[in-house]
Amino acid sequence: MSAIIVTGTDTGVGKTISAAGLTMALGAAYWKPVQAGLDGATDTETVAALTGCPTLPEAYRLNLPGSPHLAAEDMGIDIKIANLALPPAAGPLVVEGAGGVMVPLDRKTFFVDVFARWKAPVLLVALTGLGTINHSALSIAALRTAGCPIAGLIFNGVPDPAAEQTVVEMCGVRHLGRIAPIGALNRKTLANAFQSIDIESIRGLL
């Protein structure tokens, strides 16, 4: 099994859309180990509907939309890190984290600590706009400190060439493409948007 991890510089930066596009482009299975927030469609349900690709059940489904450690405490349960081992899959596996790199899973463990255990390449999603450089650089620094291999960045949103190039040059990471704003989101429009992503470079890491 080969896996790639999708994480973001923050919540709401386009991780799930990026993970869905990547899952479809690679013909992969998708796994979101921790789902915090169960109102409306979950990320797993969204990816399944968008891609038609296989999805694996979450290790934890938490009611509260928020940091996983707080959502778990709200339900009176502990997230056991041992339960977050990468599951077996027949082919490539796309794994989506919750929130950003430094989201706590319990009072001692950040998501980046689990990424480091998995030893799989990490793809970082950044939303273009004010703060992109700072949020990206901080996330990259955290990943490197933890010893995580970084596949590169996918930017999401309107073009911001100066900021994107600054991140790539100053942080020494690969620019894997940018997803332009998508109007009506469906399988076709997602596939079209993902044509700008360097899938072959990502495939070469698996």
List, by residue number, the catalytic residues.
Answer: 32
SS3 5: strand
Sign of the torsion angle spanned by Cα atoms 96, 101, 102, 107: positive
Place of tokens 């502990």: 78
Q: Which two tokens stand for residue 194?
A: 């993902």
- C-alpha span between 87 and 57 (Å, rounded): 10
Q: Which two tokens stand for residue 178?
A: 């940018």
- End-to-end CA distance of the chain: give it in Å, rounded: 9
Q: Which two tokens stand for residue 21?
A: 């596009």
- Sequence-distant (6+) residues with CB within 8 A of 129 are 157, 158, 160
- Sequence-distant (6+) residues with CB within 8 A of 44 are 30, 32, 35, 55, 57, 58
Contact 59, 83 (CB under 8 A): yes
